């Protein structure tokens, strides 16, 4: 009797074990079809609350709800089979207490089947990270520019570029690393600071506007494909498919108006006899 090997989905411990090894590759994903496309190439995909801005045209991530995250998390799980799927906990769903965070995280994991959650914040969230990790919830941390705090920060800007603010972010990273985060996203911070954090903390770091010295990198898929009108400095466009989509739609519209589409090959003939 032959034994068929079944591919195993990557887990949070798999990602944690990559510290100092081959760089970890990650992208955001919000849909089943894009998840299917990127699944063979990434180690984890993040169902980010950036979906509020990318999918729904919101100005910030603040209005995103738990229900929105669960719906898109389910879609990404259906479209993938290999990569770890991490789901953001949205603003207001975890900051109140560790107990609130556990209730939200356990619901997200149960209803999506995802393998981990991500939350923003450093020292102030260390107790919550520890509470979740102790109860079997894999937690990815996020320090530096934290988009959910945009109303406090005032604007999306790079942080940690002076000695005082860099020291605070370093303390944030240390705190959630010691609390049990299995990895930490470093967003929009100075290159030397991202490099230092990567060297000093035990979990792998995932850069987005950090440093090539980070243990991995993440970008918003739509940003790197050229589908976003405005992107941060840290984004490299690996393709520019926006114009190609526009051209395809223009051709479709032209053929419909000229009654050239649908053609004979696109319609059904009646059955004979």
Give CA separation, 267 vs 12, 32, 273, in Å.
49, 28, 19
Q: Three-state SS across the chain?
A: CCCCCCCCCCCHHHHHCCCCCCCEEEEECCCHHHHHHHCCCCCEEEECCCHHHHCCCCCCCCCCCHHHHHHHHHHHHHHCCCCEEEEECCCCCCCCCHHHHHHHHHHHHHHHCCCEEECCECHHHHHHHHHHHHCCCCEEEEEECCHHHHHHHCCCCCECCCHHHHHHHHHHHHHHHHHCCCEEEEECECHHHHHHHHHHCCCCEEEECCCCCCCEEEECHHHHCCCCCCCCCCCCCCCCHHHHHHHHHHHHHHHHHCCCCCCHHHCCCCCCC
118 is in an annotated binding site: yes
Q: Which residue among the candidates 59, 127, 187, 191 is catalytic per the annotation? A: 187
- CA-CA distance, 234 to 188, in Å (whole number)? 8
Residue 187 is among the residues annotated as catalytic for this protein: yes
49 is in an annotated binding site: yes
171 is in an annotated binding site: no
CB burial string 83-102: b at 16+ within 10 A, e below: bbbbbbbbbebbbeebeebb
228 is in an annotated binding site: no
120 is in an annotated binding site: yes
Binding annotation for Mg(2+): 49, 88, 120
Q: Catalytic positions, please?
A: 187
Annotated binding-site positions for 3-methyl-2-oxobutanoate: 49-50, 88, 118
């Amino acid at each position: 009797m032959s034994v068929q090997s079944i591919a195993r989905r990557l887990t949070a411990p798999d990602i944690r074990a990559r510290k100092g090894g081959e760089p970890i590759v990650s992208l955001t994903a919000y849909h089943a079809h894009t998840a299917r496309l990127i699944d063979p190439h990434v180690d984890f995909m993040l169902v980010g609350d950036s979906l509020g801005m990318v999918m729904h045209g919101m100005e910030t991530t603040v209005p995103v709800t738990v229900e929105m995250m669960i719906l898109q998390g389910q879609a990404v799980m259906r479209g993938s089979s290999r990569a770890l799927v991490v789901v953001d906990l949205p603003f207001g769903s975890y900051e109140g207490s560790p107990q609130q965070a556990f209730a939200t995280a356990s619901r997200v994991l149960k209803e999506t089947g995802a393998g981990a959650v991500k939350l923003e914040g450093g020292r102030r969230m260390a107790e919550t990270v520890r509470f979740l990790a102790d109860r079997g919830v894999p937690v990815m941390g996020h320090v530096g520019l934290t988009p959910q705090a945009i109303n406090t920060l005032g604007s999306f800007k790079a942080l940690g570029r002076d000695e005082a603010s860099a020291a605070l972010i370093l303390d944030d990273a240390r705190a959630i690393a010691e609390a049990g985060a299995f990895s930490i996203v470093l967003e929009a911070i100075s290159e030397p600071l991202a490099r230092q954090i990567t060297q000093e903390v035990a979990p792998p770091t995932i850069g987005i506007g950090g440093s090539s010295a980070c243990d991995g990198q993440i970008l918003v898929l739509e940003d790197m494909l050229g589908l976003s009108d405005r992107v941060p400095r840290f984004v490299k466009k690996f393709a520019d498919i926006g114009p190609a989509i526009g051209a395809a739609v223009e051709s479709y519209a032209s053929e419909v108006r000229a009654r050239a589409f649908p053609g004979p090959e696109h319609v059904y003939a009646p059955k004979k006899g």
